[in-house]
Amino acid sequence: MRNAQGITSQASVSESNRSRILHYLYHNGVCSRAQIAKALRLTPAAITKITARLIDAGIIAETGDIEGAKNRRSIGLKLDDARFHLLGVKFARSLVQIGVFDLAGSPIGLHELPTVSESTIPDTIRLIHTMLASLLASDPGIVAIGMAVPGPYLRVAGRTAVVSSMRGWRYVNFPREFVHAFDVPVFIEQDARAGALAQYLFDKRNTCENLAYYLLGEGVGLGVIDNGRLINGALGTATEIGHVSIDINGRPCECGNVGCLERYCSAVVIHEAIVSRGLVPNAKELTHSEACRALFALADSGDGRAKLLVEEIGHYAGFGCVTIFNAYNPERIVIGDIVAQGGQPLLQAIREVVDSHVLPELREATTISISNLRSDSAVCGAAAVAATQFLDHPSMFFDVA
């Protein structure tokens, strides 16, 4: 008789093989059992047994005959991306969004909650509960909820250590508030790391295993995937670039540091600059996102002062990129969230800084681009957090043992 450790080990191997098959079908579409066996170096008997259980559980399905090796006919298998739906929740500071996505990351619906202030955080939490419950009741295809929260997110403690300009979010314990509140699993990740997962999983043009997602939103964050795995750190706060100082004599930050990158190129700081420089009429009444969009539209129209501010933003964001190059050496850097709407002028300013401050060998080996996902990478990334868990741990969702 096998001992408990042996049973656990076998269960772990079985789950790993199920996950490998799901990932293979997810990325390659319809495949035969023989193709899967060859690609994953598993025996045909093992593939037959595992796929039978996945079919019985309703996770994958047979598609009919396809052409196999040596012109033989084989039965195709597929993972139906459109069948399984995911809820993604993005928490920024003043902005909360809830999106419904299919397993491939295609958006089905997006809901933006009323602008959040310090005094309305409890009301926002209650509204999120109500909306998620309503969406779950109306869509039986939803299998999981992913949440993207501001960093630095203390994974074990379940809260954010510091949220500049919106202190109230620090006191929300996200797991306690949400993890057991619904009939489907809930997964929580730092927003920039969630964005990195979205770029890795949902951008079908992505082919690299080493990428960085540079979040320029109401905060500034970074998610890094190294050899296909997220970098997390001991407490879950690794890659927290928003609180890396770019000026030791610079502006004070609520984290206790000075000159933090977040104090120079976040949407909150840009909004302050727009107001102080009188660039946009009634800018005080706008949200941070609305103010940034107005600035970028003004710059696109040729307004000199607006173009100068966009260049300044890109200059500071560029030094964040320099840190990314030197600290993480990714193959690809993707810029996303509110400030990324600055587009090519912003990107050009970033590249000018990189060209002046990064070794040529590193520059030539790394691309920098604006995110091309159809939805905001953080809310889409929240769904990617759930999708990753679905693919990695199918036994959490279905009886496949």
The packing angle between helices 4-28 and 44-56, to 10°, is 80
**Is residue 400 a contact partner of residue 394, using CB atoms and an 8 Å limit?**
yes
64 Ramachandran zone, left/alpha/beta (phi>0; psi -120 to 50): left
The DSSP annotation for 149-213 comes to EPSSEETTTTEES--TT-GGGGG--HHHHHTTSSSS-EEEEEHHHHHHHHHHHH-TT---S-EEE
Task: Record the pTM.
Answer: 0.90
Tell me the pLDDT of the chain (401 aa) as tens digits: 445 455 456 678 899 999 999 999 999 999 999 999 999 999 999 999 999 999 999 999 999 888 766 667 789 999 998 999 999 999 988 889 999 999 999 999 999 999 999 999 999 999 999 999 999 999 999 999 999 998 889 988 999 888 877 888 999 999 999 999 999 999 999 999 999 999 999 988 888 999 999 999 999 999 999 998 999 988 888 899 999 999 999 999 988 899 999 999 999 999 999 999 999 999 999 999 999 999 999 999 999 999 999 999 999 999 999 999 999 999 999 999 999 999 999 999 999 999 999 999 999 999 999 998 876 677 899 999 999 999 999 999 998 87
Give the helix/strand (H/E) hosting 56: helix 44-56
Q: Are strands 31-32 and 73-79 parallel, antiparallel or unpaired?
A: antiparallel
Q: Where are the domains of the chain?
A: 4-79, 85-197+379-396, 206-371
Sheet containing 60-67: which strands, arranged edge to edge?
31-32, 73-79, 60-67
Half-sphere exposure at residue 135, Cβ-oriented, CA atoms within 13 angstroms: 25
The DSSP annotation for 332-379 comes to EEEEESGGGGGHHHHHHHHHHHHHHHS-HHHHHT-EEEE---SS-HHH
User: For residue 118, which of 171, 74, 69, 81 has the smallest C-alpha distance?
Assistant: 171
The residues near 290 (Cβ < 8 Å, ≥ 6 apart) are none
Q: Which CATH architecture has domain 4-79?
A: Orthogonal Bundle (1.10)
CATH of domain 85-197+379-396: 3.30.420.40
CATH topology (fold) of 206-371: Nucleotidyltransferase; domain 5 (3.30.420)
Q: Do domains 4-79 and 206-371 have the same CATH topology?
A: no
